[in-house]
Structure 1
């Protein structure tokens, strides 16, 4: 598929699965997916156990350093299901920045690159069969260039709401698209690098 010795994959990580191949805990692992990953495959960044969506995997150890280079802003977009209605006033709070606690209780003002309400969630992500949608809720599409621990959930909590579902739908220009939960797609190195916004050198 590529002349590179490395391989590159995107997956739609399902709910209740950790972003690891090995764990000392009794949890669902990436190796439980129906795909034969080559030795040395690892996740680039993580989605926590209760988050879903786009996760990058590769055998190339350098990609993590390149993607998380603090000098470059790599956008990540998340579809967020929030309990109850998010009013225009609350949306404005999120847009202008909310205070969240990060390491050792330090206060941090988290400001999204962009945020908007989503009326028809299936235009962004089609795999949305969720019984909770019968109750009062709002959908937000939030884009960040930073990744503090549980940042999206903490931002929603800062406006006195609860994040009920969190799906990462894109990293840079690489989109989850119609990939089903648990599905794996292998990509060519050049396209993979270009879409996530890393300089490609053949």
Structure 2
């Protein structure tokens, strides 16, 4: 009988991402057959898994893939107990979904949501070089030196950011395309150069472009999903 790690089970059940699952396990909110497991515990098909006392079963329904235009002020968390302005309550989707990655509370724009844990893990792997495009406004005039240094990488969070595409749009506005997702990366890069971000909007993730009004979402099309699967086909699955 095949065994599967408990965090992967929760992900494939569409409950949350693998990272969030590890946090739930660490908090003692997950039980297997009534007992709190350790991180990395494996289960089989006969085990009963609960989160906060509620049994979690793998879905028999089709997966959901959404493109959402997140407003400023909404938090990308699935923990509805903590954040009042969380993305799950805001969307109020009839099935349980969770965001792929994050978008800061003061930022807006495109974020994908799904209940397909496998696609989440593949997209989130930075080494897969998946592009994310942003329009950014700053508090003072953009210089040629600013553009050059942003493109070539800056020291933040104990690393050097990858080289990236940066294009000036106007005196205070630029476009940037990243292939990594460090915490508050664009804001930290700008702050390193003594600029403050006044507006940040994500307009593209891989082949998915932002095309719905603020606060609304749509289903991804079959052609978009086909292209996403082609883009992430070299991603490695993990146990």
Q: TM-score range by the shorter chain?
A: 0.7 to 0.9
**How much does 1:195 deviate?**
4.3
**How much does 1:19 deviate?**
1.2
Distance in 2, Cα, partners of 1:112 & 1:193: 28
Alpha-carbon contact 2:122-2:232 (below 8 Å) kept: yes
Whether 1:113 aligns to 2:170 is no
Q: Given the superposition, is the C-alpha separation of residues 71 and 22 from structure 1 closer, same or farther in structure 2, using an over 3 Å criterion?
A: closer
Deviations 1:41-64 (A, max 9, x none): 111111121111100001111111
Distance in 1, Cα, partners of 2:124 & 2:79: 23
Equivalent position of 2:125 in the other structure: 69
Whether 1:191 aligns to 2:228 is no
Equivalent position of 1:169 in the other structure: 203
**Structure 2 residues without counterparts, runs of 5 or longer:** 1-60, 235-239
Q: Cα RMSD (Å) of the superposition? A: 2.2
**Structure 1 residues without counterparts, runs of 5 or longer:** 120-136
TM-score when normalising by structure 2: 0.66
Alpha-carbon contact 2:88-2:97 (below 8 Å) kept: no
Distance in 2, Cα, partners of 1:72 & 1:26: 31
Distance in 1, Cα, partners of 2:126 & 2:146: 29
Q: Equivalent residues in 2 for 1:1-202 (5 A)?
A: 5-33=62-90, 36-100=92-156, 102=157, 106=158, 108-119=159-170, 138-177=172-211, 179-195=212-228, 197-199=231-233
Higher relative contact order (CA 8 A, sep 6+): 1
Alpha-carbon contact 2:75-2:83 (below 8 Å) kept: no
Q: If you compute each CA radius of gyration, which structure gives the higher value, 1 or 2?
A: 2
TM-score when normalising by structure 1: 0.77
Deviations 1:133-169 (A, max 9, x none): xxxx611111111111111100001111001111111
Distance in 1, Cα, partners of 2:201 & 2:163: 16
Q: What count of residue pairs does the alignment treat as equivalent?
A: 173
**How much does 1:32 deviate?**
4.0
Deviations 1:164-202 (A, max 9, x none): 11111111121103x1110111123552351473339xx
**How much does 1:28 deviate?**
1.1
**How much does 1:66 deviate?**
1.0
Equivalent position of 2:9 in the other structure: none
